[in-house]
Amino acid sequence: NAGVTQTPKFQVLKTGQSMTLQCAQDMNHNSMYWYRQDPGMGLRLIYYSASEGTTDKGEVPNGYNVSRLNKREFSLRLESAAPSQTSVYFCASSGTSVPYNEQFFGPGTRLTVL
Amino acid sequence: KQEVTQIPAALSVPEGENLVLNCSFTDSAIYNLQWFRQDPGKGLTSLLLIQSSQREQTSGRLNASLDKSSGRSTLYIAASQPGDSATYLCAVKGYSTLTFGKGTMLLVSP
C-alpha cells in the first residue's frame, strides 16, 4: 500500500502560470482533502471532497479549483498562480465512519511562485 | 468557528524526561481528535486518533487523553528520546473537516 501519493514533489512557477497538483490514495477512502501549510498560519483547508462526485470549499479556496476524478484521485488546480500561493500543499484522505475516520496525509508538494 | 490552541509553542528537554503537550479547542462538538507528528520538510504522520466517545488512546510510549466537555487534550510522551524531536500537531474533526493547531516544536537533547 502506497497510502497517499502526491505529484510533483517540488514546483517553481512564474506569476500567471497554471498547474495541477495530483493526489491519489489506495486505501479505498471516501473523503479527500487539500491543505496548504504556511509558516505562522498552520495548516488550512483549501477544498475537500466528502465522497466521489462532491466537492466543497474549505477555509481558503480563492484562486484554486479541484476535481474529484474518481474515488482514488483528487486534483488541485491553480489557474493563474500568484506569489501568495507559495506554500507547501498537502493532500489527505480518510474513511467516513468510525473507526475508519482517521486522516492520512501525503508527503506534500513544495510550490514556489516567482 | 473552531479554534485550536497548542501550548507550549516550543519545548526543549533532556533525553529521558516524561513530557506533556497540551491542546485546547473552543467548540466541544467534535467527532474525533488526532495527534500528528511532522518532521522538518516532511508530511504529517498520524500518531493517535481519539474518537469523541473515548477518553484516551495509547500507542507505545505515547498516551493521548481527551476531555470533550472542557475542550482539552493532552499528549503524554514517556521517556523521551532524541528521535522524538519533531513538531506535534493536534487537530479536531467537526462535521466534515479537521481544524489544526499551530503545533508544538519539541527538541529532545542527548
- pLDDT tens digit at each of 110 positions of chain B: 899 999 999 999 999 999 999 999 999 999 999 999 999 999 999 999 999 999 999 999 999 999 999 999 999 999 999 999 999 999 999 887 899 999 999 999 99
Q: Do A102 and B42 touch (CB under 8 A)?
A: no
Task: Look at residue B96 in the predicted model and tell me its pLDDT.
Answer: 79
A26 pLDDT above the threshold of 90: yes
pLDDT at B97: 86
Structure confidence at residue A40 as a pLDDT band (50, 70, 90): confident
Which of A47, A105, A109, A110 to mutate to probe the B interface, most B CBs <10 Å? A105
Q: What is the rounded average pLDDT for all residues in chain A?
A: 94
Å between B83 CA and nearest CA of chain A: 19
Q: How far is A32 from chain B (nearest CA, A)?
A: 10
Residue B95 to residue B99: CA distance in whole angstroms: 11
Which one-letter DSSP state was computed for residue A73?
B
Cβ atoms of residues A4 and A93 within 8 Å: yes
- Taking CB atoms and an 8 Å limit, are A50 and B101 in contact across chains? no
**How many CA atoms, within 13 angstroms, populate the side-chain half-sphere of residue A77?**
7
In the stretch 72-91 of chain B, residues with CB closer than 8 A to chain A read 89, 91
Asked if B12 reaches chain A (Cβ–Cβ under 8 Å), the answer is no
Confidence of residue A8 (pLDDT cuts 50, 70, 90): very high
